[in-house]
Each structure stands twice: as structure tokens, then as C-alpha cells.
Amino acid sequence: MALSTLLTGCGTKFATQPPVSAPQPVELPAPPPLPPADLPTPTDTTTPVIRPTKRPDTEQARSLPAAISLRNQAQSAAKDGNHTRAIGLLERAIRISPTDPATFQALAESHLAMERPRQALELTRRALNLNPNIEQRISLETLARRCEAML
């Protein structure tokens, strides 16, 4: 009897839920119209004259004052024959202003004074890749020839 009750219970249907419908899109109100632009009408038909501004000094544009100060200190140390100190100061200056060809040139000259032409030539080439002005380029090319002659 228990078996028949159990089998009868399995035959009953379970209640099903109605299918869920997809959510309906919500319509947002249209944005308010933009006010008309009040553009001034040109009354003067002449073209304004655009004057070029004064170009900044190349050294100032590429080098921060702290780097220039370090380079000046290095120049003084090099004049005193202390090229090791000059190299340390110039390496600090390059960390501050890494796009200044004058600092690379000074560092190359200190390495050359310490008879390190290979390092000096590498630094000279890096300075030439920084797009130096014409005077710097001529000086760097001369320095490169001096380095190559020492190799």
C-alpha cells in the first residue's frame, strides 16, 4: 500500500509558473533644446597681425637652472684638474636635464681628459642625437674626431 501511495504521488503534476516576459524599455524624456548660440558678427574684416614671439635661449629651454649650476661647478672643477669631481657633477646634471647636449659635451670632454676616448665618443654621439644647435654640432663633431684619433 505504501508503494502504491508513493507511486501515485509521483504521478502528480507540479504547478508551473507563467513565463517571464522581457523587461520593457523605459523611454527617457528628450533633452531640452539648446539655446541659440550668440556668436558675435565680425565687424572688422582685417586679419590680425601675428608676430612671432622671441625664441627662448636654447640652453634655458633644455636645461633647468640646477643643471646649469652643476655644469658650471663641473667646469670649475675641470679647470682645477679635478675631472673625477667634474664627471660626478655632470652626471647629476644629466639626470636633471637629460636632453641638454652641452652637458653631454662637457662630460665627454672630462672623460677625454681622463684618457677615456671610448666613453667620450659615446657621450659625444649621444649629444649629437639630441639635435644641438649649429655651433654645438660643429664643436661636437670636432670632439668626436679627437676621440676617434685617440682610439
CA distances in angstroms from 106 to 14, 21, 70, 83, listed in the order given: 92, 79, 11, 11
pLDDT tens digits for range 111-144: 999 999 999 999 999 999 999 999 999 999 999 9
Contacts of 115 (CB under 8 A, 6+ apart): 150
Opening angle at CA 93, ends 124 and 126, nearest 5: 20
Confidence at residue 56, expressed as pLDDT on a 0 to 100 scale: 47
Q: How far apart are CA 89 and CA 19, in angstroms?
A: 80
pLDDT tens across 30-42, in order?
777 766 655 555 5
Secondary structure string (H, E, C) spanning 13-27: CCCCCCCCCCCCCCC
Taking residue 60's Cβ as centre, other Cβ atoms within 10 Å add up to 10
Cell 652637458 -> residue: 103
Q: What fold is seen in the domain 59-150? A: 1.25.40
User: HSE (CB half, 13 Å, CA atoms) of 129?
Assistant: 7
Mean pLDDT check: name the lowest of 3-12, 85-94, 105-114: 3-12
pLDDT greater at residue 4 or residue 96: 96
Query: Residue 13 above 60 pLDDT?
Result: no
pTM of model > 0.85: no
